Structure 1
């Protein structure tokens, strides 16, 4: 069983993930900023840590990460404020990677988005551009580290029930349920040999998640 730290521990994907991991016997800690969210995290079977990743420096994040077997970044500013988007989705994410390296916690999974590529095509005057730009910078920083990284890049998130089935490199919006995104993260943690060093772009489809992860990513 593993010790897993999840940044963004109160997000909808993270709450699904915490329940999946706790039920299979892992020791799971969700990092949250708002103390009012602690009961929701505890209800999944996970523990929680109160920390503001936007303001934590490298030493603080290193202390927070230390002692875990894997880190999952599922945090985000939530849009609406470009400066905060860069502060959380880019800068804090990058600090968390550097903290994982400093703490010798080698396994790191980033939850990104389907279109996170240099040619994402989002114009700079689009309100979505700061998010696209910040996520791309974080993804590229992670690829340049010596961590055992995996970047999971789902399409448009929905609140539909889980299906347990996805497809690689979907066309269009690549809609996928948040519960299935959590299941993909859990499966990637369970199968590092098939997922380390891969960027896995996916949406809901017809293939069981475990089979998809064993196939080659683009």
Structure 2
């Protein structure tokens, strides 16, 4: 999952990014509202974790902007503003959830996953033959047996199966799986495809992912 944290506290923003990356997510960090809008315009995020009291452009304005139009990301407001009126206004502006600081990290992570599942619920199960991918549980199964995938391998499989029949370029997959500060090159996608193919082969599906030379990867429809 690709996340954007919008938080002007350097310590909190850093700690959240480290924890979420450790849990397998691609995470960008914006320290003000203007930077948040620039990130949101450049990348497709699953969820924004948004503070409200921000320099340059406040969180209310960021919320309104990112929720305009179709295909907008989920937004979890994370704020020290604890009045009912603030929560009501944020929800009315399109926020999907609201968590008051201070907070427990486990609760924050659970709420992020819940917000992301609301989008996934439109197509809860992805299938290709004996393979079933459940975006809500973030699990892949073949003939009912769960595949032991790393978070990046799972994200790659979900991306390919979610756009089955469409060839996805290496760069597009890299952008989905890795944040803007990553030191890796998009060649890491080749390694992930290789390890994912090996696990699929051991589970009985050795030819699921095809390579289209010069174009990218695809799971045929």
Q: Provide the TM-score with structure 1 as the length reference.
A: 0.43
Larger RCO: 1 or 2 (CA < 8 Å, sep 6+)? 1
TM-score (normalizing by structure 2): 0.43
